[in-house]
Amino acid sequence: MSKVIGIDLGTTNCCVSVLENGTVQIISNKEGGRTTPSVVGFTDKDERLVGQIAKRQAVTNSANTLYAVKRLIGRKFSSPEVEKMRSTVPFEIVEAPNGDAHIRVLERVYSPPEISAILLQRLKQAAEEFLGDRITEAIVTVPAYFDDMQRQATRDAAKIAGLEVERTGAGSNEAPSSPTMAAMATSTFLTTSFAVTRSLAKSTGSAVSKIAKLREATSSWTWSSERPWVLMS
C-alpha cells in the first residue's frame, strides 16, 4: 500500500510531507528547499519551469510567469476578486466559455486547476523520489473561506496531477482547511493523515500564526494520555 502524502498548496509557497517510520518528514525539492514557490513559468522553447527557477526568470518573462493562481481557482471571471487580480498581475486572465477565470499563456488557455496540477505534479515527483515508491493519494489543504466550487476545483487539480484526495473524515473527501490543520497541530494524532497534516501546519503558510494563537489559548488545557486527540473536561 502506497503512502499518503500531505500537501499545502499555498498561494505563495507549497510544501509536501509524509510520515516515515514514525517520524514526520518535510520533503525537500530538487533545489534542497523545504518549500517550493507557487510559481509556474512557460518559455518560447515549450519549457515548463516550476518553483524557484520559474520565480528567478519572472522579471524577464513576466507575461508568461504565473503566480498566486490559487486566487483564481473556482472563481468566475466577473467576480470582484478576479477583477482586482487582473489589474495587478502581468499575465493575461481571460473568460472561459462557462464564465470561469482562465489564463492565456503563449497563445494557449489554461484553467487554474491545470496550473495548480503542474505544481502538484512537481511535489508528487519529489515525494516519489524521496520514498522510492509511486504516490497516488494525498491530502491537499485549502483556505477556510473556499466554497464548494473552489474545493472541487482543488480536487480536480489533484486528479489532473495523478492524485486522489484521501478521505479526511467519515464519508467525506473534502480537503481540510488551514484552521483545521492548525487545530490538529495542537495535539498528537495517531493516523498517518493527521500526522502528515500536523507537520504541514507547523512548517508552512498562514497556519503558523493560527497555531501560535491556538497554543496560547489552550496552554491550560489537559489532553488525554490514552487518546491524545481528546480534550479532558
Q: Which amino acid would we find at residue 187? A: S
Tell which wins on pLDDT, 166 or 226: 166
Q: What is the pLDDT of residue 28?
A: 92
Per-residue pLDDT tens over the stretch 134-166: 999 998 888 888 888 999 999 999 999 999 986
- The answer to whether 214 and 201 are in contact (CB under 8 A) is no
At residue 184 the predicted structure's pLDDT band, cuts being 50, 70 and 90, is: very low
At residue 227 the predicted structure's pLDDT band, cuts being 50, 70 and 90, is: very low
Please tell me the distance from the alpha carbon of residue 199 to that of residue 204, in angstroms, as a whole number. Answer: 9
Q: What is the pLDDT of residue 41?
A: 97
Q: Which of 73, 48, 70, 74 is nearest to 61 (CA)?
A: 48
Share of the chain above pLDDT 70, in %: 70
What is the Rg, in whole angstroms, of the alpha carbon atoms belonging to the chain?
18
Please tell me the distance from the alpha carbon of residue 160 to that of residue 124, in angstroms, as a whole number. Answer: 12
Q: What is the mean pLDDT of residues 13-31?
A: 87
Query: Can you give 31-62 as a three-state secondary structure string?
Result: CCCCCEECEEEECCCCCEEECHHHHHCCCCCH
Q: Cβ of 212: how many Cβ atoms within 10 Å? A: 11
Please tell me the distance from the alpha carbon of residue 86 to that of residue 107, in angstroms, as a whole number. Answer: 18
Please tell me the distance from the alpha carbon of residue 165 to that of residue 63, in angstroms, as a whole number. Answer: 32
Q: Is the pLDDT of residue 77 over 80?
A: yes
Q: What is the pLDDT of residue 166?
A: 65
Q: What is the pLDDT of residue 170?
A: 30
Please tell me the distance from the alpha carbon of residue 189 to that of residue 61, in angstroms, as a whole number. Answer: 44
What is the residue-averaged pLDDT of the chain? 79
